Amino acid sequence: MFMRKQSIIFGLAVAVVGCAGLSSIETPQRYGLGTPLSERELAAWNIDVDIDGQGLPHGRGTVAQGKAIYVAKCASCHGPKGEGSPALRLVGGSVKALPAVKTVGSFWPYATTLYDYVYRAMPWDRPQSLTPDEVYAVSAYVLFMNGIVPESAALDQTSLPKVRMPNRDGFTSPDPRPDTR
């Protein structure tokens, strides 16, 4: 019992001494939390592309250019023909057959989503390292491999949103949620 009282008294003494020293403690350092972003900082994060093409940067890429980039930067994960392994399959597939195989060609409703995803997340070990021209080119090549655009296709911010994907009408439209009207 005596030891317990000593421990309590010692704890209180440490607390009192600690509190007494608070007045000499400097103001904590601020880390910029809650500080508004500058226009430049915000622009670096504002890289999303809407389904109608809003947000697409200037640039241009062809199927032939895309093939070279795909071989150099994509095929090691997605396979030489987009068949997948170890990463996801990009070509072929069907959402109507069971089990459904969801690929760019069979599932994605908008070509602009392909650009957005490749630009933001690919290659997986160096996301956002591709230039807009390279992303347009890789997008053109992946769409060509899926039989969606011809081998002569060149994509840019005007032509990419006009590409009609096979599963464009495979999703609920219009959005039934009341808060989206």
Give the CATH number for residue 77: 1.10.760.10
pLDDT at 8: 55
Whether 35 is covered by a domain: the verdict is no
Whether 115 is covered by a domain: the verdict is yes
Strands in 34-176 per DSSP E = 60-62, 154-156
pLDDT at 128: 92
Joined together, the tokens standing for residue 4 give 């317990």
Whether 112 is covered by a domain: the verdict is yes
Eight-state DSSP code of residue 41? H
pTM: 0.73
Print the domain residue range for 115: 48-168
Whether 76 is covered by a domain: the verdict is yes
Spatial neighbors of 109 by CB under 8 A, at least 6 apart, are 51, 165, 167, 168, 169, 170, 171
Q: Residue 153, exposed/middle/buried by CB under 10 A (0-12, 13-18, 19+)?
A: buried
Whether 22 is covered by a domain: the verdict is no
Whether 78 is covered by a domain: the verdict is yes
Whether 143 is covered by a domain: the verdict is yes
- Residue by residue, pLDDT tens for the chain (181 residues) are 545 555 555 555 545 445 555 555 677 676 767 788 888 888 878 888 999 999 999 999 999 999 999 999 999 999 999 999 889 999 998 888 888 889 999 999 999 999 999 999 999 999 999 999 999 999 999 999 999 999 999 999 999 999 999 988 887 667 777 887 6
Tell me the C-alpha distance between 57 and 20, whole Å: 59
Domain count, the chain: 1
Strands in 11-164 per DSSP E = 60-62, 154-156
Other C-beta atoms within 10 Å of 94: how many? Answer: 16
Whether 126 is covered by a domain: the verdict is yes
